[in-house]
Structure 1
Amino acid sequence: MAGNLWISAPKSQEDIDEAENLKNEANEYFKKQNYDRAIEFYSKAIEKNPRNAVYYANRSIANLRLENFGYALSDASLAIGLDKSYTKAYYRRAASYMSLGKYKLALKDFEYVTKVRPNDQDAKMKYNECNKIVKKIAFEKAISVDKKEVNIADTINLDAMSIEDEYEGPSLVDGKVTLKFVTHLMDYYKEQKKLDKKYAYQILIDVKAYLQKQPSLVDIKVPDDQKFTVCGDIHGQFYDLMNIFDLNGLPSEKNPYLFNGDFVDRGSFSVECIFTLFSFKLLYPDHFFMSRGNHETLDMNRMYGFRGEVTSKYTSKMADLFTEVYNWLPLAHCINNRVLVMHGGLFSSDDVTLDDIRAVDRNKQPPEDGIMCELLWSDPQFMAGRAPSKRGVGCQFGPDVTANFLQKNGLDYIIRSHEVKNEGYEIAHDGKCITVFSAPNYCDTMGNLGAFITMNGKDLKPNFRCYGAVTHPDVKPMAYANSFLSMLCQ
């Protein structure tokens, strides 16, 4: 890639002028948060003039907004190859590295800029901020000692905690979640009030104890005449979560749900979402299910707001306990031995079976490859075969990969989430791969509908309910996200 000598030059001045017009059109789409269209027009500009570093850097930031970290990283690197003095391209690449949890590589980019531009105060400031993050993470690793990880849940003394005198919120009954507790909790959250920390810790400890007994792949039996609901990403959009329950009824033994990962991050009511969902999990353990998503991980929570939100509303110790709990969330669910549900998607290998998923040791942060990683990160593609992931993690898989996997495992179709869709859902791969995304107007910018899927146990035919976003208090998305990442993504 050095020098990008292999990238052809534009054929004429006319191509250069047209490329600039296409870039300007792309910028307009970007301003309107229509990132897909922006990428389309930046790509057209690149076709006309492949040697303009700005086009790649602009496409990189659009891909960052869509969480296509792999593509963003590649574009930023191409921009740097074309113009080694282009500071913004280094910032884009650093943001991509940080989004992928590769903080030391981000630091190298900042270090390079400070060396070639020693008087650039902005570069110095960004280098210092990134260096602080790298040192903080190294310090956290050092104090987490080597003794098979400290078990945070075991260090919490609930008996020593008292309920605050002024607290008027919901109360556990003999330490247990009741329906009255959950309904009161949701109303309490709607008023932007906070669950007492003693009850919050109790819920987390109890959820962890339950999840530890669950397999990595949970089998769900839905009776022929019973409705079952699958929801996709919620991403801290509590008021939209409440709207799902208004539209589809509260969870109960007669109205079971599966929430398919990414409950938190980006949206600034993630604490409210996760405690509501965990409360229902404790109330109806055999009729309320939760899969791990790629945002139920330490690196994502550090960057995209959940860790900051928990620390702000409670303590950093509770944020550590959440990490511990998330490690035990199941990775996939299989409905009536016919429909497999996971957050991300399928695999880079053709020989993966349901038993392989059951055998995954999930009590950890996801590795960068393998079954666990791909369940959380992979995406479908329209063309056959496989391709490197646009996200830089997992893989992209085509309709033939889906068909082979279903046949090998005796399944009808898969449901996954993980991607914003304009209608809240998408049917791909000849109806065999369904995406459902339940956070409407994602991040208050995307303008998409949300959706959930209902089916009955007899035929498992998916029915889609779409809905728009509802109003919420004036707390912006990413309010608790790492401010340094936000600064890089301007």
Structure 2
Amino acid sequence: MADKSSPEETTNGKSTSPSDVSEETAKKAEELKTIANNYFKAQNFEDAVKYYSEAIDLNPNVAAYFGNRSFAYLRTECFGSAVEDASKALELDRSYIKGYYRRATANLALGKFKIALKDYEMVVKYRPNDKDAKAKYTECNKIVKQQAFERAIRVEDTKKNIADTLDIASMVIDEKYAGPKLTEGKVTRNFAETLLEHFHSENKLDKKYVYQILLQINELFRTLPTLCDITIPDKAKFTVCGDIHGQFYDLYNIFKLNGLPSEENPYLFNGDFVDRGSFSVEVILTLFCFKLLYPNHFFLSRGNHESETMNQMYGFFGEVRSKYTTQMAELFTEVYNWLPLAHLINKKVLVMHGGLFSSDDVTLDDIRKVDRNRQPPDSGIMCELLWSDPQPQAGRSPSKRGVGIQFGPDITQKFLDHNDLEYVIRSHEVKSDGYEIAHNGKCITVFSAPNYCDTMGNKGAIINMTSDLKPNFVTYEAVAHPNVKPMAYANSMFGFM
């Protein structure tokens, strides 16, 4: 029973109490479920969720309705909601095995391996011949044991940074390497432009040069504040980009459409540079080179995918290990820990990857004081900057992702008033047009990875603005890329999307 199948076609859920749903209502609910299933198969997961929800409203006694909606939430990365629905399905029917499977999958995506393992145990118990479930149980168990071992032997005070142990001088350039070369160990404009074409032709950068770039960018990031200030001069152009997610060929297209970065053409990339897409190494090295080349005109914010747990699950670590070394993958983690968490444009527009906060009292100074040199915590300002999402209704809600919060238009307005800001820009969510204007124009989402994961069919978008701070949206379609599928380097456990 691999959970890569279609949603439940027939209703086999059981009610825990006598149903007060009429036969006519139950039939209508089944019709809505069928409509939802068709949307799911067409990979229109938002409409699938809508119609599953309508079916549930009519008949909340069917486990399969919650199970199917949980599956749709998985596909839209709403892992908190997926856990909640799978749990509800299991309340209705403890023998509903897909409920255990989907709850395990959602907890796995959140890095909650011990919790996921318990559900995989149930699946294997009831379906001992299910090879996919058995493989995931075995792999999850291995991760839980490995984490326990690492905790047992870890001595934080004596742990050395990889950056401090590398001997660059002893590294030798591969004699067969014919790509771009650093000039006296430094990135030049010619190097950056040549590297773009080198990557576009499916070539690798020599390992020594990669290590040199990582050590230099690490030193640069360490000098930056958690909240960086950006000034757009009068009538100058500035570009904000959202998630790229390892889609190098779409990044290349952004530069083709909007111009290469320069002092006259500055950029801010707002997190989630890597994972999912299978050209994450090419994306991140390109961005790091431009940051080194234009440190005051090219800006990078941390996203929730610039973290160890996400990288281990969604492909970046696997890609780095495949193309280079495990040591390099671990060095990337050290570098990501120093990425700034937010940027303030002309003192009026705050840009962060995720969103706003569980408290109305958060100030810009509070953000500036965050100790960011660590893995993202499960709560607090740093977590919410990386994980939160807007919602249309007022107030706050638990996050559909299971991390961070959801915040309404009133919360956005309070934050802006409290900090004398005009609006916020964030990323973090796929949007069909590549962007969305919400909360009365005060909360803008920009997502720059078109046809996300080769399946979503969305446009990509970037924001151009001048010193008047009026956002102008540029949208574009996905471009062709070499035949390497998204998630090609991810652990096989995480191939559910």
- TM-score bucket of the superposed structures, by smaller chain: over 0.9
Aligned-pair distance for 1:232?
0.3
Aligned residue runs from structure 1 range 190-339, under 5 A: 190-339=200-349
Asked if 1:460 corresponds to 2:469, the answer is yes
Q: What SS is found at the alignment partner of 1:426? A: strand
Asked if 1:127 corresponds to 2:137, the answer is yes
- Residues 336-377 of structure 1: per-residue CA shift (max 9 Å, x gap): 111100000000000000000000000001111100000000
Report if the CA contact (8 A) 2:15-2:93 is conserved: no
CA distance in 2, matches of 1:113, 1:448: 35
Where does residue 441 of structure 1 map in the other structure? Answer: 451
Where does residue 7 of structure 2 map in the other structure? Answer: none
Alignment match of 1:65 (pick from 75, 78, 90): 75
**Identity score, percent:** 66
CA distance in 1, matches of 2:238, 2:46: 33
Asked if 1:165 corresponds to 2:175, the answer is yes
CA distance in 2, matches of 1:433, 1:355: 20
Aligned-pair distance for 1:15?
2.1
Where does residue 469 of structure 1 map in the other structure? Answer: 478
Moved more, 171-180 or 125-134: 125-134
Aligned-pair distance for 1:119?
6.4
Moved more, 255-264 or 10-19: 10-19
Aligned-pair distance for 1:57?
1.2
Report if the CA contact (8 A) 2:163-2:331 is conserved: yes
Aligned-pair distance for 1:6?
8.6
Relative to structure 1, is the Cα distance of residues 150 and 141 closer, same or farther in structure 2, using a 3 angstrom cutoff? Answer: farther
Unaligned ranges ≥5, structure 1: none
CA distance in 2, matches of 1:461, 1:117: 57
Where does residue 370 of structure 2 map in the other structure? Answer: 360
Where does residue 481 of structure 1 map in the other structure? Answer: 490
CA distance in 2, matches of 1:64, 1:201: 36
Where does residue 42 of structure 1 map in the other structure? Answer: 52
Aligned residue runs from structure 1 range 179-194, under 5 A: 179-194=189-204
Aligned-pair distance for 1:143?
5.1
Q: What SS is found at the alignment partner of 2:157? A: coil
Report if the CA contact (8 A) 1:425-1:436 is conserved: yes
Asked if 1:411 corresponds to 2:421, the answer is yes
Asked if 1:97 corresponds to 2:107, the answer is yes
- Residues 192-217 of structure 1: per-residue CA shift (max 9 Å, x gap): 11110000011111111110111100
CA RMSD of aligned residues (A): 1.7
CA distance in 2, matches of 1:192, 1:243: 15
CA distance in 1, matches of 2:459, 2:434: 5
CA distance in 2, matches of 1:289, 1:31: 39
Q: What SS is found at the alignment partner of 1:312? A: helix
CA distance in 2, matches of 1:271, 1:438: 17
Q: What SS is found at the alignment partner of 1:147? A: helix
Relative to structure 1, is the Cα distance of residues 14 and 413 closer, same or farther in structure 2, using a 3 angstrom cutoff? Answer: same
Unaligned ranges ≥5, structure 2: 1-12
Where does residue 426 of structure 1 map in the other structure? Answer: 436
Where does residue 23 of structure 1 map in the other structure? Answer: 33
CA distance in 1, matches of 2:47, 2:474: 26
Q: What SS is found at the alignment partner of 2:462? A: strand
CA distance in 2, matches of 1:26, 1:68: 17
Aligned-pair distance for 1:468?
0.7
1:316 maps to a residue whose letter is T
Report if the CA contact (8 A) 1:10-1:51 is conserved: no
Asked if 1:345 corresponds to 2:355, the answer is yes
Report if the CA contact (8 A) 1:4-1:78 is conserved: no
CA distance in 2, matches of 1:296, 1:8: 49
- Residues 110-142 of structure 1: per-residue CA shift (max 9 Å, x gap): 223344556666544432221012223334445
2:426 maps to a residue whose letter is R
Relative to structure 1, is the Cα distance of residues 95 and 211 closer, same or farther in structure 2, using a 3 angstrom cutoff? Answer: same
Aligned-pair distance for 1:485?
2.0
Aligned-pair distance for 1:147?
2.4
Report if the CA contact (8 A) 2:15-2:62 is conserved: no
Asked if 1:81 corresponds to 2:88, the answer is no
Q: What SS is found at the alignment partner of 1:130? A: helix
Alignment match of 2:166 (pick from 144, 152, 156): 156
Aligned-pair distance for 1:461?
0.9
CA distance in 1, matches of 2:16, 2:416: 41
Asked if 1:11 corresponds to 2:21, the answer is yes
Where does residue 122 of structure 2 map in the other structure? Answer: 112
Report if the CA contact (8 A) 2:66-2:89 is conserved: yes
Report if the CA contact (8 A) 1:235-1:262 is conserved: yes
Report if the CA contact (8 A) 1:10-1:48 is conserved: no
Alignment match of 1:146 (pick from 149, 156, 162): 156
Asked if 1:384 corresponds to 2:397, the answer is no
CA distance in 2, matches of 1:299, 1:8: 44
1:152 maps to a residue whose letter is I
Q: What SS is found at the alignment partner of 1:230? A: strand
CA distance in 2, matches of 1:272, 1:378: 28
